[in-house]
Amino acid sequence: MGYYEEGEALSHDYNYTRYNEYNQEISCDTLTIEVIIVITYAPFYRTLLRKNITEYHLIFKEGFSASTLHRMKHGKPITTKTLDSLCDILDCEISDVIERTVE
């Protein structure tokens, strides 16, 4: 499976043929199905709120990178090492930091 940017559309063309009532081919069309996969950090901010932890605390008390928080705020990818560090700091599961949605 490849790597996809947030909100990138994945599309696949399917060729299909229609037939009339006499089973004669009448046309060949292309049907395009598009799926958008979005990784969101909304659970991260809910977890911060629930645990009463601020971004300030993460940066200045836990030594977490401000640029990483900025990337997350703007929906950019983070590494699995960063994800693991966040889960350790927040004492939570991965699903408390990110979620994947398909639109």
Q: Where along the chain do its domains lie?
A: 40-102
Q: What pLDDT is attached to residue 2?
A: 44
Note whether 93 and 43 are within 8 A (CB).
no
Per-residue pLDDT reduced to its tens digit, 3-59: 445 454 545 455 555 555 666 555 555 556 566 768 899 999 999 999 999 999 999
The band of 101, judged by pLDDT with boundaries at 50, 70 and 90, is confident
Per-residue pLDDT reduced to its tens digit, 55-83: 999 999 999 999 999 999 998 999 999 99
Give the integer Cα–Cα distance in Å for 11 and 40.
21
Four-residue CA torsion sign, 74, 7, 39, 4: negative
The band of 93, judged by pLDDT with boundaries at 50, 70 and 90, is very high
What secondary structure letter does DSSP report for 85? H
Q: What pLDDT is attached to residue 23?
A: 62
Task: Please name the CATH architecture into which domain 40-102 falls.
Answer: Orthogonal Bundle (1.10)
Q: What pLDDT is attached to residue 17?
A: 54
Residue 53 tokens read as 């932890």
